[in-house]
Amino acid sequence: MNTYQHRSYIEVLRSHGIRPLNHRVAVYEYLAKHPVHPTADQIYTDLRKNMASISRTTVYNVLHLLTEKNVITPITIDPKELRFDANTQEHVHFLCEKCHRVFDLESMESQPTVSVPDGFTIGSVSLYVKGTCPACAE
């Protein structure tokens, strides 16, 4: 493990008021290093390979905690499964309806400036695009 990077994950957690326990760092580091928007089960299955002691319950616990503290973002683009993203910058997500991969479209034009009627308060904005990715277009 790259200690320098590892330390920075710990710092991110600390700066959000989260005690950087091993399992928490592992889940966060996994998400940061695998920006493919994995599901809870994918995270659990993969982490399990190198970390025999982690349980499904803990993965759910940590994902809830990180979401609540705004360290990660849940992505609901696919009705079938909830995915997670360590990149909390607002950016567009693209779901390929053939291969079911989710792509980041960070380079695209900035998020729309949404305005809402009086009385509504905006917490977050998500822009989801569905269609076909280049690999599946052929």
Q: Name the binder of 123 from its own copies, DNA, none, CB < 5-8 A by kind.
A: its own copies
CB-CB contact of 75 with 62 (8 Å): no
Residue placing its CB nearer to DNA in the complex, 61 or 126: 61
Q: Does 46 bind its own copies (CB under 8 A)?
A: no
Query: Does 99 help bind its own copies (rule: CB under 8 A)?
Result: no
Q: Which of DNA, its own copies, none interacts with 62 (beta carbon under 5 to 8 A by kind)?
A: DNA
Token pair 């928490």: residue: 24
Answer whether 133's CB lies under 8 Å from 104's CB.
no
Select 33 or 56, whichever has its Cβ closest to DNA.
56
CB 18 within 8 A of CB 66: yes
Pick from 86, 15, 11, 82: nearest CA to 42:
82
Distance of closest approach, residue 94 Cβ to DNA, in angstroms: 20
97 contacts its own copies (rule: CB under 8 A): yes
